Amino acid sequence: MDAITVIRAKRDGHALTPGQIDWVIDAYTRGRVADEQMSALAMAILLNGMDRAEIARWTAAMIASGERMDFSALPRPTVDKHSTGGVGDKITLPLAPLVAACGAAVPQLSGRGLGHTGGTLDKLESVPGWRAGLSGPEMMEVLGSAGAVICAAGEGLAPADRKLYALRDVTGTVESIPLIASSIMSKKIAEGTGALVLDVKVGSGAFMKTLADARELAATMVELGTDHGVRTVALLTDMSVPLGLTAGNALEVRESVEVLAGGGPADVVELTLALAREMLDAAGLPDADPERALRGGGAMDVWRRMIAAQGGDPDAPLPVARERHTLPAPASGVLTRLDAYAVGVAAWRLGAGRARKEDPVQAGAGVELHARPGERVTAGQPLLTLHTDTPERFPAALAALADDAVVIVPDGPGEPGPGAAPALAPLVLDRVA
């Protein structure tokens, strides 16, 4: 076989054969297919798509490129969760210990942020001493002692995807639904978890901007999980507004701890509980009560054990940015728009995210929200607070929040008039199983 024949087949709209898929993934992983050739194939896939059989075989080939993990020795059922990425999406932090407190084992392999979406590992690395990189035996030890672990995937897990993901990021092919689905599911299936719950984000702050695209992605991933024997379900959730009241690293850890302590923003609590119920049901524990575990302190106990087992100090103060800038409300009225993408870009420009995977991040950088859409604000009151160690970043962050990123509908003196508040989308938009 040769790369040019495979590229031409997909360029001309044909389905790739199982043999072609197996060969090109293996050859690319081994360096026998050049980056420019795989780039051409990825663009052909973006433009012409793949059918279900192609996507399943592509995913299987990426799984076969590396090792598979095995949690069958654990005395608990295993379940994992994956989010497609959003702004202020800190849900994994309270969710993993909460599900573990209810009787499941949660081997959560997470990633780092790129661009306007935050990364779970970047957030947790703001906890003094915490380590993302664990060996297989260390991961099993943390799972055994705490019930949950959040860590980076090992180098041997789906190495073909690691190479292809980096290539897609610089060739304009990230948005391909077959490539997104196979990238996510190859790692999750190779991880060896018994069940998987997907949080597919929809809206301005998500990669999927429309409900139709999000449904297609969710259905594709659920089919892949089913085809590989992993019980899989997906929730489609709104990402037009940031989750919670923070977007950043240490800022989001602090908010997550508030949720584990029984407080925190209502939307973060709502989504954490919704995903916990799905995970517990998928793991065969439908009678577990995550709300009780959150309220009673069981989830906080698991969090503290998990952080300590990975070298972190759960009692240590979290980093705080050296500089702050407050953006006041420009008028009185009802806040009708606070765009998630704009907030995510602002946090990124403040140092909370990275443009390239090699870039460092600031632990204390980010954006703090003082109001959410639907709430009435008064001219001059704090609307957003920007946090960074490098104040020269403020102008670029403020530029991201200009134009129509923040919209306030004036209502004049007194209370807002009828219909002034927007009709907000529900947090959970749909379920795919």
Show the DSSP H helices in 13-84 as ranges: 18-29, 35-48, 52-64
DSSP states of 181-224: HHHHHHHHHHHT-SEEEEEEEESTTSS--SHHHHHHHHHHHHHH
Helix or strand holding residue 1 (H, E): none
Other C-beta atoms closer than 10 Å to the C-beta of 263 total 11
Other C-beta atoms closer than 10 Å to the C-beta of 3 total 20
Cα separation, 352 vs 388, in Å, equals: 8
DSSP states of 390-430: -GGGHHHHHHHT-TTSEEEE---SSSPPTT-S--PPPSEEE
Coil, helix or strand at residue 227: helix
Measured at the CA of 424, the angle between CA 343 and CA 365, to 5 degrees, comes to 20
Name residue 407's beta-bridge partners. 337
Contacts of 366 (CB under 8 A, 6+ apart): 246, 247, 248, 249, 250, 251, 252, 321, 347, 350, 352, 387
Cα dihedral across residues 284, 84, 185, 306: positive or negative = negative
DSSP states of 263-292: -S-HHHHHHHHHHHHHHHHHTT-TT--HHH
Distances (CA, A) of 111 to 194, 313, 333: 20, 21, 39
Structure-block tokens of residue 181: 């689905």
On the 0-12 / 13-18 / 19+ scale of CB atoms within 10 A, 195 is buried
Cα separation, 168 vs 66, in Å, equals: 20
Closest CA to 204 of 119, 88, 335, 86: 86
Structure-block tokens of residue 428: 């959970």
Per DSSP bridges, beta strands 382-388 and 333-338 are: unpaired
List active site positions.
82, 161, 168, 183, 187
Cα separation, 118 vs 353, in Å, equals: 6
Per DSSP bridges, beta strands 382-388 and 323-328 are: antiparallel
